[in-house]
């Protein structure tokens, strides 16, 4: 069965946030003082997250990305992923992580059935990395990336949020990385999420990123799949890896959107920028999975065609990405 929204888009990808907690404090994701945490009783149990996932897959979701906050800080995550990977009909189980806990957890994740990792890595320079993550240790993340390769994961996707004057001087370094390593480096346009006034100064348009790379290297377009969503992919000719641009601010991000999001507190969001979303807890409380699945279908049917910034040029209400899962 397929989940098709009113704009004819096939919604086959669920981003499932399992926690709002994180062991980093990235400047683009949360304010310096952190964000108010959900109380423990507001965070969905693994049993409820599994029920939602099961009904979403029965409705037509084929790919689940587990995210957060930092998903690896939630106790019991590996056992939960092992259950998720067994869902009949689920074709892809992937995880987004900041990589800090990969040195000790990569083997368990691979054994649990996680098929691929997206790792956030915004700088290859230790000082810049520490500045962006507010204290993160680049070497530990690089070790985690290496260990995850060693236990068997296919080449990672590396997410880079590009910020002018912060890490945009490293665009070519990341492009060069794909010459030697088979990674898929994806440059993400900075999105205004915590109410910062100067986001337009920080945001480097995807077109500029491609232009800066193509001035240095010959590039060729190509490489996206039915479930890969709004990433425009290309590669440096002869490179082992690939590059991608995700352009929520300047591109046709919404036209190719195939996503549904569920937060750790059970809010389902059909659009990243669509306010708080629909609370799934009353539907979970009925104990009736058919009702839960019907609500998931209703939420997808109501998915907006474009986010409000693309539609009207309006800034979104401030929110922390850590609570939504990116």
Closest CA to 266 of 70, 3, 35, 50: 50
Could you say which of ligand SAM, ligand SF4, none residue 145 binds, taking C-beta under 5 to 8 angstroms by partner kind? none
Q: Which residues bind ligand SAM (CB under 6 A)?
A: 22, 28-29, 67-68, 70, 96-98, 120, 159, 161, 188, 190-191, 193, 321-322, 325-326
Cβ neighbours around 227 below 10 Å, total = 15
d(CA 267, CA 279): 4
Q: Could you tell me if residue 5 is left (phi over 0), alpha (psi between -120 and 50 degrees) or otherwise beta?
A: beta
* Least Cβ distance, residue 73 to ligand SF4 (angstroms): 9
Closest CA to 139 of 123, 152, 150: 123
* Least Cβ distance, residue 66 to ligand SF4 (angstroms): 13
Quick check: 26 binds ligand SF4 (CB under 6 A)? yes
Q: Is 259 helix (H, G, I), strand (E, B) or coil?
A: strand
Candidates 11, 14, 29, 57; binder of ligand SF4 (CB under 6 A) is: 29
Quick check: 322 binds ligand SF4 (CB under 6 A)? yes
Region of 65-73, 279-287, 289-297, 310-318 interacting with ligand SF4 (CB under 6 A): 65-73
Query: Which token pair is 294?
Result: 């019907």
Helix-then-strand count for the chain, H and E: 11, 12
Cβ neighbours around 294 below 10 Å, total = 14
Candidates 69, 206, 241, 248; binder of ligand SF4 (CB under 6 A) is: 69
Type and span of the H or E element at 236? strand 231-236
Region of 67-75, 81-89, 273-281, 309-317 interacting with ligand SF4 (CB under 6 A): 67-75
Candidates 24, 80, 187, 273; binder of ligand SF4 (CB under 6 A) is: 24
User: Which residue, 76 or 302, is less far from ligand SAM as judged by CB?
Assistant: 76
CA–chain centroid gap for 58, Å, is 22
Q: Which residues bind ligand SF4 (CB under 6 A)?
A: 22, 24-26, 29-30, 68-70, 98, 120, 321-322
């Amino acid at each position: 069965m397929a989940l098709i929204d009113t704009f004819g888009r096939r919604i086959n990808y669920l981003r499932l946030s399992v926690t709002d907690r994180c062991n980093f404090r990235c400047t683009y994701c949360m304010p310096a003082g952190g964000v108010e945490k959900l109380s423990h009783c507001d965070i969905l149990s693994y049993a409820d997250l599994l029920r939602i996932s099961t009904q979403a897959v029965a409705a037509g979701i084929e790919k689940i990305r587990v995210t957060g906050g930092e998903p690896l800080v939630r106790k019991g995550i590996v056992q939960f992923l092992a259950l998720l990977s067994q869902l009949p009909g689920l074709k892809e189980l992937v995880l987004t992580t900041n990589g800090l806990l990969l040195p000790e957890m990569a083997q368990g994740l691979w054994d649990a059935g996680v098929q691929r990792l997206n790792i956030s890595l915004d700088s290859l320079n230790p000082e810049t990395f520490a500045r962006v993550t507010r204290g993160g240790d680049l070497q530990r993340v690089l070790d985690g990336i290496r260990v995850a390769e060693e236990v068997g994961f296919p080449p990672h996707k590396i997410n880079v949020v590009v910020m002018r004057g912060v890490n945009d001087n490293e665009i070519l370094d990341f492009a060069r990385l794909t010459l030697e390593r088979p990674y898929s480096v994806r440059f993400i346009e900075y999105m205004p999420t915590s109410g910062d006034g100067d986001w337009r100064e920080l945001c480097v348009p995807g077109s500029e990123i491609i232009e800066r790379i193509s001035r240095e290297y010959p590039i060729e377009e190509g490489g996206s799949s039915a479930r890969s969503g709004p990433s425009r992919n290309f590669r440096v000719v002869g490179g082992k890896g690939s590059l991608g641009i995700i352009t929520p601010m300047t591109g046709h991000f919404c036209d190719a959107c195939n996503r549904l999001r569920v937060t750790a507190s059970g809010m389902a969001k059909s659009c990243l920028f669509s306010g708080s979303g629909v609370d799934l807890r009353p539907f979970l409380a009925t104990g009736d999975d058919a009702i839960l699945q019907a609500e998931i279908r209703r939420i997808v049917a109501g998915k907006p065609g474009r986010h409000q910034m693309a539609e009207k040029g309006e800034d979104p209400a401030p929110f922390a990405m850590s609570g939504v899962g990116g």
